[in-house]
Amino acid sequence: AQSVTQLDSQVPVFEEAPVELRCNYSSSVSVYLFWYVQYPNQGLQLLLKYLSGSTLVKGINGFEAEFNKSQTSFHLRKPSVHISDTAEYFCAVNKAAGNKLTFGGGTRVLVKP
């Protein structure tokens, strides 16, 4: 079985400050990692995904994430946030040859002016 832990349920951050959202996973098989964002009253949108290759993955809206196999982590970062980044962020895994995402509990980011 696989599981995903997002260590922070809420992260308040000031505009133009950096933010890091933590994600750890556990799995007995190789997994592939995703970050999704959910803006208020909207569906989920893919920010970025790690499948293979370079462990630093760049996504949309200036976000990036680093896959660390030894620490089983896939933390999401943005060097300077905007008010529009206020949303809930979900880390997810899909095991190799799997067909369903397992999500973390989500991290709610509130960007303050």
Partner 1 sequence: GAGVSQSPSNKVTEKGKDVELRCDPISGHTALYWYRQSLGQGLEFLIYFQGNSAPDKSGLPSDRFSAERTGGSVSTLTIQRTQQEDSAVYLCASTSQGAWTDTQYFGPGTRLTVL
**Residues interacting with partner 1, by CB under 8 A?**
32, 36, 41-46, 49, 51, 90, 92, 94-106
Shortest Å, Cβ 77 to partner 1: 21
> How far apart are alpha carbons 79 and 25 in whole angstroms?
24
Cβ distance to partner 1 smaller for residue 62 or 98:
98
Cβ distance to partner 1 smaller for residue 48 or 81:
48
Residue 42, burial from CB neighbour count under 10 angstroms (0-12, 13-18, 19+): exposed
> How far apart are alpha carbons 101 and 22 in whole angstroms?
18
Cβ distance to partner 1 smaller for residue 9 or 80:
9
Shortest Å, Cβ 43 to partner 1: 4
Cβ distance to partner 1 smaller for residue 70 or 100:
100
> How far apart are alpha carbons 94 and 98 in whole angstroms?
6
Contacts of 97 (CB under 8 A, 6+ apart): none
Shortest Å, Cβ 46 to partner 1: 5
Task: Give, as one character, the DSSP assignment of residue 83.
Answer: G
Shortest Å, Cβ 51 to partner 1: 5
